[in-house]
Copies of this chain bind each other. A is one copy, B any other.
Amino acid sequence: MPTPWYQESITDESEILSSRVRLARNIKKYPFRKTITPVGALTMVTEATQAIESAGENRFFLKIDMNTLNQTEQAVFQEKHIVSPEFISGKLPKGLMLSRDENISVMLNEEDHVRIQAIKPGEGLSLAYETAGQIDDLLEEHLEFAFSAEYGYLTACPTNTGTGLRASYMLHLPCLSKTVDLSKTVLPQLTKVGVTLRGIHGEGTSSMGNIFQISNQNTLGKSETDIILGLQNVTHTVIQKEQQARENILSTNRSQIEDIVYRAYGILTNSRMISASEALDLLSDIRLGYITGLLAQPKPAKQIYQIMMEIQPGHLQRTAGTEMSEQERDIKRSEYLRQIFM
């Protein structure tokens, strides 16, 4: 079985941690999210599930029954970016088809009837688009999607109408974050070209661990290829800014950065309780230490980005096999991190 994207061995020095493509589709014969009834939703989910199964794709896909998942399991899916917080909180019947390698997911009855998502490690946006497109084609053989010759794919929220495509990168920008206020300097420039930058968990969330999600805002009036290319170009510019900031810091504040990086190492290898938010920031500093070569300690066997995922509440509780209070998690998290880095 292929490894999940978050375990794949990428160069751990890239600013791009992962690439993701999401396609929003709705099935023509069902009302959209706001007006669909519970019974309608259930029928729709069943039909879409069968579309995947009848194409023989259940060889690759697991049907996940969201209702039988406990809170911890749901949180794990969310922390892996396999499902959205909105999908988890949604009360209407819903379905999740997940590829066995966890790199492709199809959320049924999230904001739209069908949301196809493909994630690849590092810079794999074209590949992710190709993968999502294959699932899209497969579903279209069995389902008629709401489509307008004038607008393209119709969606529950007009911001997704057209291609229904949201392409995004997860970026690690430790030096830019330390030197400028991204929301005031970089973000306005991106907005002008239809691209946005958000915290690790998407809209309305703040950045943690200096990780940002960069994605296209516009889905209408551009071809899929143009959207992908546009995002790649803009991301390239942001990465150049990050690298420039890194060079500046290293040439003018080398001691300070060395200090930051080693303190992060000292705390992660010694703390006895640590919040997810602090741990993410320290892991970001450690990753910067490896990228710059400032941190001489041997690297752990896992990608820092994978560790960042595994210290989150759902993952921690799944590993422990039990639900835990916040303080219990903080203690468990510190144990896990000491074990990883010692």
Contact = CB atoms under 8 A, between A and B. Distances in A.
A272 B265 CA distance: 12
The main secondary structure of chain A at its interface with chain B is helix
Nearest to A257: B272
Contact of A331 (B255, B268, B269): B255
Interface string A234-272: 000000000000000000000110110011011111111
A259 B256 CA distance: 24
A269 B270 CA distance: 10
A41 to B, nearest CB: 46
Which 9 A/B pairs are nearest by Cβ-Cβ distance?
Answer: A266-B270, A266-B266, A259-B272, A262-B270, A258-B272, A259-B273, A266-B267, A263-B271, A262-B272
Contacts of A11: none
Contacts of A258: 272
Nearest to A270: B266
A105 to B, nearest CB: 37
Nearest to A272: B259
Interface string A167-189: 00000000000000000000000
A146 B262 CA distance: 59
A334 interface: yes
Contacts of A273: 255-256, 259
Contacts of A339: none
Contact of A266 (B259, B269, B327): B269
A101 B265 CA distance: 41
